[in-house]
Structure 1
Amino acid sequence: MGMLALLHVASSSEVRMLKVDVIDEQTHVVRRGKRPHPVPLDPASWTVLQRCLAHREAWRTDNPHVMVTKGTKAGRSPASTVYLSHILDDCDFPPRMIRSPRLVDLVNTMDPKLVAAAFGMDPQATLIYLADHVDPGRLPDC
């Protein structure tokens, strides 16, 4: 969860709903949520995903989701929202806090509408990540 949030701006719901059948083993890409294009994974994220899949396989579950818990391994439902909200408790950072700095950087260096389109977000949702000041180096010389 943490790697996908930090590097790929994955939301908790994207990770929660991630299914095995959207993972391309050959190209190391996944389709997530409302994102219009498949997301290529870097080697570190791919390694973490492989560990999740190995854990899932050890449980011998038919649940189609990547993230499987004791409560969901016998069924077909995704992990609970509560489970995901506490999955990173050991590192003292909630998923949203890990995801936000990347969004702040992207929204403030690119067009917020492009960021929204790339990540399958509502255009209004990116506006909360806009900084309240303009970097003087980005202003034209007058």
Structure 2
Amino acid sequence: MRAQDRARRAGTRPRSDHTLETALAILRDLALFLVEHRGKDDWALVDVHDVEAFLATLPRARKRRLTVLRQFFRFARSKHIVLVDPTRTLTAKEPNGFRGRTLTLDQQRDLFRRWTTDEDIQPHEALVGMLALLHGASSSEVRMLQVTDVDPVTQSVRLGKRPHPVPLDPASWDVLQRCLAHREAWSTANPHVMVTKGTKAGRSPASTAYLSHVLDACGYPPRTIRSTRLVDLVNTMDPKLVAAAFGMDPQAALIYLADHIDEGRLPASEPGRK
């Protein structure tokens, strides 16, 4: 507020009240976070890990929040409220790593049951969903899948740029057969597995817009479902092997490495051990 007064006297542009309120709201949120999640009730106890954890709660607001926190801790250090500025070594750039949304195990089970037991589900939704959920297939890979890519002898399919055919489990194979039966009903010469009303008379694949909305009914976008599978594979296997199997760049697979493990995936503790 003193800076506002100085700016007005100097004829320069002062900070708006909204800017000050936003900064105060960020400090309030940090204080609550420290007390509720880090068990700290003194500014002098705050370290860089506390600030990094707070910034990670809203990754998209990292730059704005860090700017405010730097200003505050510089002030706090000048007033001897803290001895060390915990924001000194932090950068506004987000750390590399996966920041997308993933599904819980219960959500995955619900989707699996939806696509394997409900015969009223649109076949295209079931195919895109199952291939993403169990085989990490992208919408583009399913969109470009052709009938000639399906091998009924080995029950496998060729997806995108993957170097080897992908063997399908019985549930995925059954969903694929439902989709092929749906295609046969169109009496079309289109070579693709997924044929829509707009593509049945030609040879082009379904539109990207169609694929982006094909899973709307289930409530989750294709990217979220595929990311869930990739995160699971990369964190339980060698990322290089995953990249090779999916035809991905090794650096692209490393993005999906996580720094935590869901408690539900940890083995049960043995009696007498922690």
Calculate the TM-score normalised by the size of structure 1.
Answer: 0.91
Match for residue 215 of structure 2 among 84, 88, 106: 88
Counterpart Cα distance in 1 of 2:226 and 2:261: 22
Counterpart amino acid of residue 78 in structure 1: P
Counterpart amino acid of residue 43 in structure 1: P
Aligned counterpart, 1:7: 134
Larger Rg: 2
- Counterpart mapping for 1:123-134 below 5 A: 123-133=250-260
Superposition deviation, residue 128 in structure 1: 1.9
Counterpart Cα distance in 2 of 1:27 and 1:65: 19
Counterpart amino acid of residue 127 in structure 1: L
Counterpart amino acid of residue 126 in structure 1: A
Counterpart Cα distance in 2 of 1:79 and 1:124: 30
Superposition deviation, residue 80 in structure 1: 0.7
CA RMSD of aligned residues (A): 1.5
Counterpart amino acid of residue 84 in structure 1: L
Counterpart Cα distance in 1 of 2:152 and 2:222: 26
Deviates more, 1:8-17 or 1:117-126: 117-126
Aligned counterpart, 1:140: none
Deviates more, 1:49-58 or 1:119-128: 119-128
Aligned counterpart, 1:72: 199
Query: Percent identity among equivalent residues?
Result: 82
Superposition deviation, residue 45 in structure 1: 0.5
Aligned counterpart, 2:236: 109
Match for residue 173 of structure 2 among 46, 50, 64: 46
Match for residue 160 of structure 2 among 33, 50, 74: 33
Superposition deviation, residue 113 in structure 1: 1.6
Deviates more, 1:28-37 or 1:121-130: 121-130
Superposition deviation, residue 132 in structure 1: 2.5
5+ residue gaps, structure 2: 1-127, 267-274
Counterpart Cα distance in 2 of 1:33 and 1:122: 14
Counterpart amino acid of residue 131 in structure 1: A
Match for residue 97 of structure 1 among 190, 204, 224: 224
Match for residue 188 of structure 2 among 58, 61, 73: 61
Q: How many pairs does the alignment contain?
A: 136
Superposition deviation, residue 127 in structure 1: 2.1
Counterpart Cα distance in 1 of 2:249 and 2:197: 33
Which consecutive segments of 4 or more residues in structure 1 shift more than 6 A? Answer: none
5+ residue gaps, structure 1: 138-142
Counterpart amino acid of residue 90 in structure 1: A
Counterpart Cα distance in 1 of 2:261 and 2:193: 41
